[in-house]
Amino acid sequence: MQFIDQAEIQVQAGDGGDGMVSFRREKYVPAGGPNGGNGGRGGSIVLQADENLQTLLDFRYMRLFKADNGQKGGTSNCTGASGRDRIIEVPCGTMIYDLETDELIGDLTTHGQTLKVAEGGKGGLGNHCFLSNRNRAPENAFPGQPGELRSLRLELKLLAEVGIIGLPNAGKSTLISALSAARPKIANYPFTTLVPNLGVVRKPSGDGTVFADIPGLIEGAHMGIGLGHDFLRHVERTRLLLHLVDVTAEDPIADYQTIQGELDAYGRGLSDRLQILAINKLDTVDPESEEVQAIASQLEQLSGTSVYRISAAAHMGLDSLMQRVWQELDELKSQEDEELQALEQLQSTPSLVES
């Protein structure tokens, strides 16, 4: 399955039905008066988040979506049938922009969440609505209003609490396969992973946490070089970054600085995101060697935090690494809960009005 995380579509809501001009004609009822009904409302376009979808691939092959038109009003003051709304399912994490103004219309993050993006046209008035003392036999009715037409840009940002970052071949895919049931393609060459991979990692409490392997970050990624520019947006939603450095690389220190530079250049707060740093592939070297010790020491000085020493392939050091991940996530959640409670308390406190 192709991973498509951007798409442009056009949506056309249904037109409202026309009002009807009609007069009551029954035996023994002279001058029955107008009885033309109103037109029905046109159907609207509604986007709905679906947790079973992972990509915007379907929108590559179908880009125009129309809702049903409303029906014309009938006799006996009967209103025409309304057009059915068109429900379009999108993956959770989809952001919807107006293509012409680039305005963010909405962000669908939870399963079942809906967003109306195009309003159906109102039905026209039938001639019974124009009856008055001065006009006892109106012969005019209004046409239905046209439905809203919009061009939209859909942008998918994966919903993951932990993003795994690092240069190509740092062992990101191996780590996510070691921690979860995800089985991404793994090979001993750069750019093996061409799309983000998601894996659910179980906490000791039994709850699941989504990890995302963010591929293709290289120098210049923020300018569109390589694959990183396409996938840096998926880091935006993560609460915690797990940064892997290949200890067998030619210059692990430069590799770390390259990724940090790309996060800083991309902006949007990525460089300030909480990071846990780990040097990987210790099964291929002597973990106690002076070279490894020097690399770890330099990284600790640059990052200002402790550096974990792991081997994703050999499952070395993963327990202590994950303990730190769970600890940091719990602290972040506690901070968010405290901020939410403070905000709710502030909103519920009546403001003082000076007399």
Annotated binding site for GTP: 166-173, 191-195, 213-216, 280-283, 311-313
Distance of CA 333 to the CA centre of its chain: 21
Q: Which residues pair with 156 in a beta bridge?
A: 94
Tokens of 159: 């919903």
- What is the rounded CA–CA span in Å between residue 38 and residue 242? 61
Whose tokens are 């090979």? That residue is 187
Between the alpha carbon of residue 178 and those of residues 58, 131, 174, 287, the distances in Å are: 31, 76, 6, 20
Binding region for Mg(2+): 173, 193
Cα angle 60-64-69, degrees, rounded to a multiple of 5:
155
Tokens of 26: 């029954």
- What is the rounded CA–CA span in Å between residue 119 and residue 193? 41
Binding region: 166-173, 191-195, 213-216, 280-283, 311-313
Whose tokens are 């990071």? That residue is 275
Ranges of H-type helices in 180-227: none
Helices vs strands, H then E, count in the chain = 5, 14
- The H or E element containing residue 342 is helix 318-348
C-beta separation of 167 from 261 below 8 A: no
- What is the rounded CA–CA span in Å between residue 346 and residue 256? 42
C-beta separation of 214 from 164 below 8 A: yes
